Amino acid sequence: MSKKLKLAIISTPRRLRSNQQQIDNVIPSERSPYFGQKSDHSSAAYSVEDGSSTEVQNKINEEIASETRLPKTSNESEKSQRKRKNKKGNAPLKIKYDKSENIESKNKSDEKDLTSKKDEKVEDDLGNASNWMPSNWNSILKNIKEMRKYKTAPVDEMGCHKCADPNASDPIFRYQCLLALMLSSQTKDQVTHAAMKKLITYGCTPSTIIATPNDVLVKLIHPVGFANKKAEYIKKTSVILLDKYNGDIPKTINELCNLPGVGPKMAHICMQIAWGEISGIGVDTHVHRICNRLNWVKKPTKTPEETRKELEGWLPKDLWNDINYLLVGFGQEICLPRFPKCTECLNKDICPFVRKK
């Protein structure tokens, strides 16, 4: 027997044993049919001697190779697929979430909360609801009342509510209140009060004013601003009142505003001092200026009428009666049009106008 054959007979069982152990370690439950029984030297020698050792060895090697190739796990296969897709430039995987009922209900509740917050109204200290209110308005108004408590401003003694004859009949008293308001436009209270004194002394009734020549009427009301135009308005209004209202004045805002030379400010104040009714806030140049300085309007207003609408939108109605006189007197003494006395004002620490200076 040659040396090669001896070596083959000796080495074959070792290979078989080592291969058998390798397969047992890898997949113990699935053995190759070639390793159903333990191989011994005789079988190995037989396979070598009958010339089939090469074929058996090849089959053994193929079986070992196929068995030792472990299948990739599902995670590894998914990762490899993702890598291949990413290499090809495909879009990244998108994860779709199933909307559960809890999530939908939560979203709906969040939307309701947002809408409720949008519709939420602010309440002031008096419980009046409003969509918007300026900051610190109550403290500012309280300080203004404190500064106005002595009533030393011109409006307190010579305002339109002080111009009519208290001894006159009710219709004549109301007529004189209306005339005083018509003269007060663009005119200081002192001048208006002096003009009304002259008219009352002359005879301030609708019939008397109608019979008065225009030049005489202009001299009586001089030096009010725009005396000629106001004299014309007074005569036309007196004719309407005498013909349509029997010498009295209308009792509604619309009818008052339809009279020549009468605007919303005059009409609202006239309703207050002549009829004792609060229909709105009278806003003149003082109120208009102060409301813009205090940021009592959402955005700067250009006309007193715009300011009136803004102010009526948030100010509690029980304050409408006094707000005109409070702010007018405050504007005449402290919050002047030019060179306001901010250092003397109680609101100097919280006033927006002072901060801008």
Distance separating alpha carbons of residues 47 and 331, to the nearest angstrom? 125
Report CA dihedral (290, 336, 162, 226) to the nearest 10 degrees.
-100
Provide the 3-class DSSP secondary structure of residue 260.
coil
Selection from 177, 220, 173 nearest residue 199 by Cα: 220
Choice among 85, 99, 244, 265 that is catalytic: 265
Question: Among the residues of the chain, which ranges form H helices?
Answer: 3-26, 41-49, 53-68, 74-88, 101-119, 137-147, 154-158, 170-184, 189-202, 206-211, 214-221, 227-244, 253-257, 264-273, 285-293, 304-314, 320-333, 352-356
**Residue 265 is among the residues annotated as catalytic for this protein:** yes
Provide the 3-class DSSP secondary structure of residue 274.
coil
Selection from 170, 162, 135 nearest residue 328 by Cα: 162
User: Which residues are tagged catalytic?
Assistant: 265
